[in-house]
């Protein structure tokens, strides 16, 4: 499994790249089994893949039928409300960081049930219990779908 993942992702960008990465694993019925990810990192994609594999994928390997990897691309700070309201939540994800920098939350692009920036901000604040002022980062992802694991 891990070699197939590395081969597929290496077709998008070098495994030595140091960018954020998210993984979602699904069973034969398309039900989400597990997910994990990092937004910013000093580790390579190859190291992240190995960490995800050892930490969450290996023990569920016989259940996993497909994987989706979202590779973070074009991360930028964007606190201008006029720009934010024009964003497509199909194409952009949100990363919120509380002013103290201790707590954060993320929402990937094209998340089911989230059509507007207001819905996205509300969902992240509620899920991650963010109460204070936040900095808003927007990003795109390059998606890699791996079937027949």
Domain ranges of the chain: 2-72+142-147, 74-140
The per-residue pLDDT for range 77-123, each reduced to its tens digit, is 998 999 999 999 999 999 999 887 678 999 999 988 899 999 999 99
Phi/psi region, residue 19 (left: phi>0; alpha: psi -120 to 50; beta: rest), is beta
The chain-wide mean pLDDT, for the chain, equals 92
pTM of the predicted structure, to 2 decimals: 0.86
Question: Counting Cβ atoms within 10 Å, is residue 29 exposed (0-12), middle (13-18) or buried (19+)?
Answer: exposed
CB 101 within 8 A of CB 149: no
For domain 74-140, give its CATH number from 3.30.565.10, 3.10.310.10, 3.40.50.2020, 3.30.1490.150.
3.30.1490.150
Per the CB < 8 A criterion, the answer to whether 69 and 146 are in contact is yes
Q: Rg of the chain's alpha carbons, rounded to an integer?
A: 16
How high is the pLDDT of residue 126?
92
Per-residue pLDDT tens over the stretch 31-67: 999 999 999 899 999 999 999 999 999 999 999 999 9
Q: Is the pLDDT of residue 133 over 90?
A: no
- Confidence tier at 132 by pLDDT (50, 70, 90): confident
């Amino acid at each position: 499994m891990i070699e197939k993942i590395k081969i597929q992702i290496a077709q998008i960008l070098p495994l030595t790249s140091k960018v954020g990465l998210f993984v979602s694993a699904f069973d034969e019925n398309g039900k989400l089994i597990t997910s994990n990810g990092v937004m910013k990192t000093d580790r390579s994609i190859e190291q992240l893949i190995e960490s995800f594999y050892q930490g969450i994928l290996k023990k569920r390997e016989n259940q996993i039928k497909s994987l989706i990897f979202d590779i973070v691309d074009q991360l930028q700070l964007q606190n201008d409300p006029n720009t934010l309201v024009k964003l497509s939540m199909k194409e952009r994800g949100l990363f919120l960081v509380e002013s103290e920098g201790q707590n954060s939350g993320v929402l990937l692009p094209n998340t089911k049930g989230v059509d507007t920036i207001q819905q996205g901000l509300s969902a992240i604040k509620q899920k991650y219990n963010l109460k204070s002022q936040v900095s808003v980062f927007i990003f795109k992802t390059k998606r890699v779908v791996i079937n027949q694991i």
